[in-house]
A and B are shown apart, each in its own frame.
Chain A
Amino acid sequence: MVRTYALLMWTWTRAAAAYPASFALMTVLGVFVAAMDVGVILIIFANTTTLGGFSRDEVLFLYGTSAVAFTICDTFVSNIDRVSEHIKAGTLDTFLIRPVSAWIQLATDRFVANRLGRVLQAGAVLGYAVVALSLDWGRAWMIPVMVITGIVIFAALWTIAGAAQFVLTDAPEVVNTFTYGSSTLTQYPLSIYARDLVSGVTYVLPLAFVNWQPGLYVLGRDDPFGTPGFMRFLGPAAALVLALVAALAWRQGIRHYRSTGS
């Protein structure tokens, strides 16, 4: 599976390499777009020293962990959200006649490496925050765990969004708002949001486990909403459950596919 993925990715990369100038331009511009979110955080902290009880570097840490996970998914998985495009163009049929899962073919379809620029940018912010915060190294092991958890959660969200497009073929923006919205939401400490919203993203849609719950552990902070300490470690379990839900949703989506046209 990994081999097939790598092979398809490589094939698309070679196809894109025919246009090197465009590739370079899009890489640079992708970094610009991503840098806007960091710009907003920096401007906010030009006006205040704390936001929702967190310092600038702590917010950058939360931003960095969420953004690294999100941009990795954005690079490697996000093409899944073009299901409705493929349904309308009839190209989904051609994925379905091949002996490889449609998910892999969709995820790699027109893969372009230029989004990797954003991963580097997010990684740089995270690196800065980790150094600036002089974290307790006994707790730093959680950082890779939370990044992987975040990748699984975002990949599952994207898969669910893609699966939803089998039904909501005419409204891909609606489901895509939900993936990008999840990224925006997790860029800030959840303490700035209302309690009900935070309960929702903790117990229903487990976005709180991307970076908030494990992040509190790394930063050595108590949860302002008062959740018990063991919840800091539930991320991998939550990610696994969501991944299962996503896999089921995807299967259902494929079975409900109604190929159109002749």
Chain B
Amino acid sequence: MFGVLRAYTLIALWQARPGLAGYDVTDAVTFCFVTQAFIGPMQLFGGGLNIPERIRSGDIALDLVRPASLQLWALAEDTGRAAYLFLVRGIPPMLLGAALFGIHFPADPGRWLAFLAGFAIAVVVSFGWRYLVALSVCWLLDDRGVAVLSLVLTTFFSGMMLPLHLFPGWLGDLVMVLPWAAMVQLPTDLYLGKAPVLDTLAFQALWAVVLLGLGALATRAIRHKVVIQGG
């Protein structure tokens, strides 16, 4: 439903300014429905990890003493769910968009390959971010605030609401290098064939590594905290 309304807004904008940001109208509509397909797998509206509840209930102590790393364990779980959600929640909006408005389906297998690689890294970036948000409960008493803040940052600066190419001036330059661009805007550009493949994947991978690294540090800190406080 929101996808359809957003598509109309984008169509109206591209009718007023054809060729804006190097997209044609069909590109813009495609952008809308491909990004819609990301909501489920990347949990763009927040959530998906049960870590905050486990921290509050104290069960986190059990997770931390397991031989497997908490972070890798959660990542494995999250990517599994993302693959599933992409199929059940991601494909239908794309088909709906194709049926209502007509969207591009790349004919070139190389482009599909680039897109799927970009999508996979995007899922990891999204996980890395949500994992940090989830762990922040440990230090902040009220996790709702962080959740809302994360929601705003993720939906607005990922390209979920508007393609980031439309953001004016320095804001436009800034949002393209933030981690959220790696979640939605970049994989979609790979789908549309509007971005250099290797550079884009490298940039996404960089953010994935940075966020996972921070996550690992945070995991160590919380283990320390839990051990000292006795859970």
Does A pair with B? yes
Interface residues of A, Cβ cutoff 8 Å to B = 21-22, 25-26, 29-30, 32-33, 36, 39-40, 43-44, 46-52, 177-178, 181, 184-185, 188, 191-194, 197
Cα(A239)–Cα(B78), bound, Å? 45
CB-defined contacts of A30 to chain B, threshold 8 Å: 148
Query: Given the known A-B contacts A46-B168, A47-B17, A48-B17, are A184 and B145 also in contact in the complex, defined by CB atoms under 8 Å?
Result: no
Which of B1, B9, B161, B162 has a CB less than 8 Å from the CB of A192? B9
Q: B12 at interface (Cβ–Cβ under 8 A)?
A: yes
From B12, which residue of chain A is reached at the shortest CB distance?
A192
Q: What are 8 sample pairs from A and B whose C-beta atoms fall under 8 A apart?
A: A36-B156, A43-B168, A46-B167, A184-B2, A188-B8, A188-B12, A192-B9, A193-B8
Are A51 and B1 within 8 A (Cβ)?
Answer: no
B9 touches A36 (CB 8 A): no
**Chain B: how many interface residues by the 8 Å CB criterion?**
25
Q: Chain B interface (Cβ within 8 Å of chain A)? A: 1-2, 5, 8-9, 11-13, 16-17, 20, 142, 144-145, 148-149, 151-152, 155-156, 161-162, 166-168
For residue B20, which residues in chain A have a CB less than 8 angstroms away from its CB? Answer: 47-48
Per the bound structure, the CA–CA distance linking A36 and B16 in Å amounts to: 22
Which secondary structure dominates where chain A touches chain B? helix
Interchain nearest-CB distance for A190 vs B (Å): 10
Q: Which of B2, B11, B162, B168 contacts A40 (CB 8 A)?
A: B162
With A33-B148, A184-B2: A51-B12 Cβ-Cβ less than 8 Å: yes
A22 to B144, CA, bound (A): 9
Q: Within the complex, what minimum Cβ distance (angstroms) separates B7 from chain A?
A: 10
Q: Nearest Cβ distance between residue A251 and chain B, in whole angstroms? A: 27
Q: B2 to chain A: which residues have CB within 8 Å? A: 177, 181, 184
Chain B, residue nearest A177 (CB): B1
Chain B residues contacting A50 (CB-CB under 8 Å) are: 16
| A192 with B142: CB separation less than 8 A | no
Contact call A48/B16, Cβ cutoff below 8 A: yes
A22, B162: Cα distance in complex, Å: 31
Contact status B12-A184, CB under 8 Å:
no
Contacts of A197 in B (CB 8 A): 8
| B17 near A43: Cβ-Cβ < 8 Å | no
Interface contact B156-A26, CB-CB below 8 Å: no
Q: Closest approach, in angstroms, between the C-beta of A250 and any C-beta of chain B?
A: 23
Known: A39-B156, A46-B168, A51-B12. 11 other contacts (CB 8 A): A26-B145, A26-B148, A29-B148, A30-B148, A36-B152, A43-B166, A47-B20, A47-B168, A48-B16, A177-B1, A188-B8
Contact of A47 among B142, B156, B166 (CB under 8 A): B166
CB distance from B147 to the nearest CB of A (A): 9
Q: Is the beta-carbon distance between B152 and A44 smaller than 8 angstroms?
A: no
**Bound form: Cα–Cα A51–B12 in Å:** 6
Chain A neighbourhood of B148, CB < 8 A: 26, 29-30, 32-33
CB distance from A233 to the nearest CB of B (A): 27
Q: Are A188 and B9 closer than 8 Å at their CB atoms?
A: yes
Chain A residues with CB under 8 A of B152:
29, 32-33, 36
C-alpha spacing A44/B144, complex, angstroms: 30
Q: B5 touches which one: A32, A49, A184 (CB < 8 A)?
A: A184
Bound: A193/B166 CA distance, A: 21
**Within the complex, what minimum Cβ distance (angstroms) separates B59 from chain A?**
23
